[in-house]
Amino acid sequence: MATVLDLSMLSFFKPAFIFLFVLGIFYAILQKTQLFGENKGMNLLVSFVVSFLFIITPGVSDVISLAMPWFVILVVVILVIALVFMMMGVKEETIVTNVFHEGWFIWTIVLVIILGIFGYAFSVVYGPAVQSVTGESSDQGVMSDIGKVLFHPKLLGVLFLLLVASQTVRLISSNGEVKT
């Protein structure tokens, strides 16, 4: 029976959504980095080719289709947080200047979240294939193994030491001026 809220037809448009998502992300990255200069046509052509390659590669398109909703949620959460600060009286220029231009800590957190999203998507798509190739199998699954590795005390200790070392280098190299 057909209903008004039947969204199963959207699965036919999944390749188009993936194509547009990858095209937009790669075009924005190429425009920002100016890898090919200020040639917008070349940036669009390279983005188009990369998007087409993402579509015809089955595993990669599955990774993108798993990660895309989480990116949308991440962007919405960032926008809501910015709007809450703006409702509290913080000026838009202050948010843009302090958070997005000089806020290296916020960008580090966002980068870790993005890597986590991609790590999850890759483990869901390629996890069973990797386990079958290596001959390793566990009763709890690949996510349990990833959790054991990521939250092992030695790895967490190394990450903490790297964070302390990076902050030390940043503070020493700034000639006593603390930039936040």
Residue-wise pLDDT tens digits, 99-156? 777 667 777 888 888 888 988 888 888 877 766 545 555 556 776 677 777 778 898 8
Question: pTM of the full predicted structure?
Answer: 0.62
pLDDT (tens digit, 9 = 90+) per residue, 70-102? 988 988 998 898 899 889 988 888 877 777 776
- The predicted-structure confidence for 53-72, as pLDDT tens digits, reads as follows 989 888 888 888 888 889 88
What local confidence, expressed as pLDDT, does residue 175 receive?
65
Q: What residues contact residue 128 under an 8 Å CB cut-off, 6+ apart? A: 142
**In the chain, where are the structural domains located?**
14-56, 63-137, 139-180
Q: How many whole angstroms separate alpha carbon 46 and alpha carbon 80?
A: 33
Q: Distance (Å, rounded) from C-alpha 61 to C-alpha 54?
A: 6
Single out the residue of 17, 94, 80, 23 nearest to residue 52, CA to CA: 23
